[in-house]
Amino acid sequence: MAPLTLLLIFLSSFTASSSAAGEYPTDLFFSGFRRAAAAGNITLSGIAEIDGRGVLRLTNETGRLMGHAFYPSPVRFKSSPGGGVSSFSTSFVFAVVPEYPKLGGHGLAFVASAARDLRALPSQYLGLLNAGDVGNFSNHLFAVELDTVQDFEFGDINDNHIGIDINSLVSNASAAAAYYAAGENSTKLDLNLKSGKALQAWIDYDSGEKVISVTIAPSSVKPTKPILSYKVDLSPIFREFMYVGFSASTGLLASSHYVMGWSFRIDGAARALEISSLPPLPGARKKHPPSTALAIGISVLCVVLAGSAVFLVVLIVRRIKNADGVEEWELEIGPHRFSYQELKKATNGFKEKELLGQGGFGKVYRGTLPNSKIQVAVKRISHESKQGLREFVSEISSIGRLRHRNLVQLVGWCRKRGDLLLVYEYMANGSLDKYLFDEPQVTLDWEQRIHVVKGVASGLLYLHEGYEQSVIHRDVKASNVLLDDELNGRLGDFGLARLYDHGSNPGTTRVVGTLGYLAPETPRTGKASMSSDVFAFGAFLLEVACGRRPIEHEAGPEELVLVDLVWERYKEGRVLDLVDPKLKGEFNEGEVMAVLKLGLLCSNCNPMERPTMRHVVRCLDGELDVPEVATAPSGFDCTRAGEGSRFEDFRLSFPSSCFDKRSSSSFVANRDNSFASLSTSPISILTGRGDSG
């Protein structure tokens, strides 16, 4: 049987029949892409390429890139522009080989799109869409994603799932990767998309039933039961002509995404692909006949021996040169590890000229990554103790997995002796404080400010509630809010404070924070909590609305503390007098009032009285009314804050109902409402105890 079958496979390794429906292709079949590449029957863009053996590699293991491969001419999906979408069927064999085992980045997708040149972003956007057009019905984009990262932003169910995406990356339907075993019992078996092994996928659309079904399996035997079915009429989504192909992307973490074979058919079942006749995955071992095995074995052994000798020498030389070698545990860590040389080159050798700023944790330099030319900000933190470095770095990996449009994304890191270098996205418009304080050259109008405030609130909410474990920021303030090129507010430095703790001696907890933003209970207990973040956010709200720092040293004594000043004016009913004069009176009164009142509520000395970030976000979105403020922020005896109970207790006991629209007046003082305790406002405690500033 062999010769004839082989001949047939060979002959059919590329055919695109263009007979049935005139000049439009209806039946594509690629058993490997070598011939297709030679004949120009596949169009590549991004970093996609076809290797010598005919394997299509959409991305390699370099982060934040994407690759596309499309059949060059469009496929006719409808018999008339207004008609229904014909049935179609496609099947492909793919493999995802991640840079680090168990951590994929980000995924690949089969795409049908009105345009071949997708104006898209990498990372969580999978090279399909960009931040501006997600969800827009003029995209005319249909995709089936094989996603290996859980993105909370798009509501992903896990980091190993398939999803049906219509004009958006929020999947219409998704399922954990699995398949039904053949046979009547059809047990569901889990499948790991990023196992590095060849897997096959089938996507079928039935125009009669209007159902899309997706099936995956580790072999070329198609399970009878699909893992995902979704009833949808594709007619409004598809145009008459659509391009078909693949897209993949990498992010902070990266995988090589391969496609070894693909078949596609309109009005019929896609021709079967035979995994065994496809080109092998690069790096996969090929089977050799026994006669040559010995020879190959010996030569491989020689190469390995020579290789390991060279490797050892290199390793020893590197160890001697700089104690900066990669240790085994570091390989298990997620975010991209840069070499010191790379970062040194990126920042021109950490020249003063590239210095962007100097924060509590170290100096920040502007840099341009030598290969990709991507602009980044490099933060250099010196870390005295070697002890705790491992925790330090594992913390980084968890920070690196936090993804939200209002957080400054960590791109990677590097360790050099006692120094730790953190590489972040570059924020074109710098930090917010330079637009607010000290007679700035440019300021932001109210619309821009409220946009920033809402962004920061949702970023902080994500840190508190959106991730597996809540992350306390610990240092929310205007100078930690950065503005990207579209003036979106993005929180920087999150998680760093906790990182820093790993370096200090156990037992002496360093209180991290900034005077004026530090909740009064924090120095007392040494513990930051979600509610101490809310306190700092309150100070931030007031500074954005009033355009002045929470504590002004130059101002007269009664103006020293912004929150007290706002409270005084609020009681007198003329709080709008305090609105930043740089706004020249142009602002939305309702919004400013809401921000000021929220600022007061969040600044309450008593952690139990502060709202949660979820409430704050709902108020800012206008979903809930902001109640009148009845308690003086420092009406509670600050010196007692935090006594006895842990802050988690405070948060849980916060009466969430008091923020409900129906009972908006119930935010009532339940303590001594006099202002005698004004003198015990935060600073008196902080200056006495806080190790901050």
Ligand X SMILES: *[C@@H]1O[C@H](CO)[C@@H](O)[C@H](O)[C@H]1NC(C)=O
Q: Active-site residue among 27, 147, 151, 475?
A: 475
- Is 475 marked active-site? yes
Which residues, 6+ apart, have CB-to-CB distance to 440 below 8 Å? Answer: 434, 582
Question: In whole angstroms, how close is the CB of 24 to ligand X at the nearest point?
Answer: 9
Q: Which of 6, 39, 305, 331 binds ligand X (CB under 6 A)?
A: 39
Strand boundaries in 347-443, DSSP class E: 355-359, 362-368, 375-382, 410-416, 419-425
Of positions 13, 26, 31, 41, contacts ligand X by CB under 6 A:
41
Nearer to ligand X (CB atom), residue 138 or residue 441: 138
Give 47 or 452: the residue with its C-beta nearer to ligand X.
Answer: 47
Q: How far is the CB of 499 from ligand X (least distance, A)?
A: 28
Amino acid type, 462: Y
Only one of the segments 164-172, 502-510, 521-529, 544-552 lies at the binding site for ligand X (rule: CB under 6 A); that segment is 164-172
**Is residue 166 within the footprint of ligand X (CB under 6 A)?**
yes
Q: Which of 12, 21, 53, 61 binds ligand X (CB under 6 A)?
A: 61
The answer to whether 186 contacts ligand X (rule: CB under 6 A) is no
Q: Which stretch binds ligand X (CB under 6 A): 57-65, 423-431, 523-531, 671-679?
A: 57-65
Task: Return the residue of 5, 18, 653, 687 that touches ligand X, per CB under 6 A.
Answer: 18
Report residue 30 as tokens: 């690629």
Q: Indicate whether 291 belongs to the interface with ligand X (CB under 6 A).
A: no
Contact 349, 340 (CB under 8 A): no
Q: Does the protein bind ligand X through residue 448 (CB under 6 A)?
A: no
- Tokens for 303, please give them: 């190469």
Asked if residue 398 binds ligand X (CB under 6 A), the reply is no
**Rounded Cα–Cα distance for residues 589 and 133 (Å):** 32
**CA 547, CA 439: separation in Å to the nearest integer?**
10
169 touches 134 (CB < 8 A): yes
Burial string for 92-108 (b: 16+ CB within 10 Å, else e) reads: bbbbbbbbbeebbbbbb
- Helix (H) / strand (E) containing 9: helix 2-11
Please report whether residue 16 would count as binding ligand X according to CB under 6 A.
yes
Residue 470: which of 647, 690, 251 has the closest Cα? 647
Taking CB under 6 A as the rule, does residue 170 contact ligand X? yes
In angstroms, the CA 136 to CA 140 distance is 8
- What are the phi and psi torsion angles at 202 (to 5°)? -130, 135
CA-based radius of gyration for the chain: 30
Counting residues that bind ligand X (by CB under 6 A) gives 20
Q: By CB under 6 A, tell whether 299 contacts ligand X.
A: no
Residues 338-397 that bind ligand X (CB under 6 A): 371
Helix 530-546, helix 589-602: angle, nearest 10: 140
Of the residues 184, 554, 572, 586, which one makes contact with ligand X according to CB under 6 A: 184
Q: How far is the CB of 691 from ligand X (least distance, A)?
A: 44
Q: Does the footprint of ligand X cover residue 573 (CB under 6 A)?
A: no
In our burial notation (b when 16+ CB lie closer than 10 A, e otherwise), range 269-301 reads ebbebebebbbbbeeeeeeeeeeeeeeeeeeee
Residue choice 62, 220, 394, 680 for contact with ligand X (CB under 6 A)? 62
Segment near ligand X (CB under 6 A); pick from 39-47, 75-83, 145-153, 441-449 = 39-47
Q: 172 or 429, CB closer to ligand X?
A: 172
Among residues 60, 220, 375, 680, the one that binds ligand X under rule CB under 6 A = 60
- The catalytic residues are 475
Q: Which residues bind ligand X (CB under 6 A)?
A: 16, 18, 25, 39, 41, 47, 60-62, 136, 138, 166, 168, 170, 172, 183-185, 232, 371
